[in-house]
A and B are shown apart, each in its own frame.
Chain A
């Protein structure tokens, strides 16, 4: 393949394992926060074009009719702005809030401001642990900006409407956390634009050289 952003099978496998280890750390942080066991699933990695992204995301959360709330956090390599960068997006299905209010023993149902606060807290927890975990493995310190709200209770297709998507292709890394016997789904997406994928590929090759 001549496409500079396409991953080889080895690179995809390597990234999946790097994300798997980071996901384990993030899942543990979420479990401690909610005081419950978190089910992890195999992370999924795909290269998507800008046009495909909306459809991909809809499929991931269970169709276009599913309403979600989401938070986005930019991440970048600390040393220079030209290396690895992207957006880490945390999305909750609507039913997840009731479960969280229950788990965290809130007296009443969460109002919109309460939900927003919870969203920001959990995005910080998950993104922090996951990006730190990925950074440790590729030996690059990843920093991240403060979380910003993408929207509450809206169809996932419109969640990214206002994002400045200045890329043609992006690497979509999907990590899903679920809870047993509870209608809770939290999905984390890492979106990396084209030039950043090329840098990431170089880092993965370095890791692969060790084997």
Chain B
């Protein structure tokens, strides 16, 4: 069965960049969200078993999504993909339950490496 995968980023280009970086043949069912609020709606309706999450977004940012996922008890596996390269940004999202952090711009190699690291492929 396909894995419900959510790509949550306010930039259309960034969403396409992530989609294009997905490993070939990976059986996923992709949903796109343009901000954290939309992202949470998708997660609540079961479309985000895996989530690729941006941090700086309008409405609700990535930190807010991580908070909400935790407090609502969703089991989503969340990988943050962000341009915020401060070491503390990484620490913060890991503290909020993210599985890993990938620096933007993302590409197939980086994404595949991280997914392999956790045996997700």
Q: Would you give the 0/1 interface string for B55-91, flagging 1 where the beta carbon is closer than 8 Å to chain A?
A: 1111000000000000000000000001111101100
B21–chain A nearest beta-carbon distance, Å: 11
Asked if A167 CB lies within 8 Å of chain B CBs, one says no
Q: Is the CB of A21 within 8 A of B88?
A: no
Q: Is the CB of B86 within 8 A of A208?
A: no
Q: Is the CB of B13 within 8 A of A13?
A: yes
Complex Cα–Cα for A208 and B13 (A): 8
B64–chain A nearest beta-carbon distance, Å: 13
Q: Is the CB of A10 within 8 A of B86?
A: no
Complex Cα–Cα for A28 and B89 (A): 10
Closest-by-CB residue of A relative to B20 is: A211
Contact size class for B? 20 to 34
Q: Which of A25-40 contact B (CB under 8 A)?
A: 25, 27-28, 31, 37-38, 40
Q: Is the CB of A31 within 8 A of B12?
A: no
Asked if B44 CB lies within 8 Å of chain A CBs, one says no
Hey, which bits of chain B sit against chain A, CB under 8 A? 10-14, 16-17, 20, 55-58, 82-86, 88-89, 103-105
Given contacts A24-B85, A27-B86, A31-B88, 20 further A-B contacts (CB under 8 A): A17-B11, A17-B13, A17-B14, A20-B83, A20-B104, A21-B83, A21-B104, A24-B82, A25-B83, A25-B85, A37-B86, A38-B86, A40-B55, A40-B56, A40-B84, A42-B57, A42-B58, A137-B105, A211-B16, A211-B17
Identify 30 residue pairs between A and B in the complex whose beta-carbon atoms are under 8 Å apart, listed by A's number: A10-B12, A10-B13, A16-B11, A17-B11, A17-B13, A20-B11, A20-B14, A20-B104, A21-B104, A22-B83, A23-B83, A24-B82, A24-B83, A24-B103, A24-B104, A27-B85, A27-B86, A28-B86, A38-B86, A40-B55, A40-B56, A40-B84, A41-B56, A42-B57, A42-B58, A207-B13, A211-B13, A211-B16, A211-B17, A211-B20
Hey, which bits of chain A sit against chain B, CB under 8 A? 10, 13-14, 16-17, 20-25, 27-28, 31, 37-38, 40-42, 137, 207-208, 211
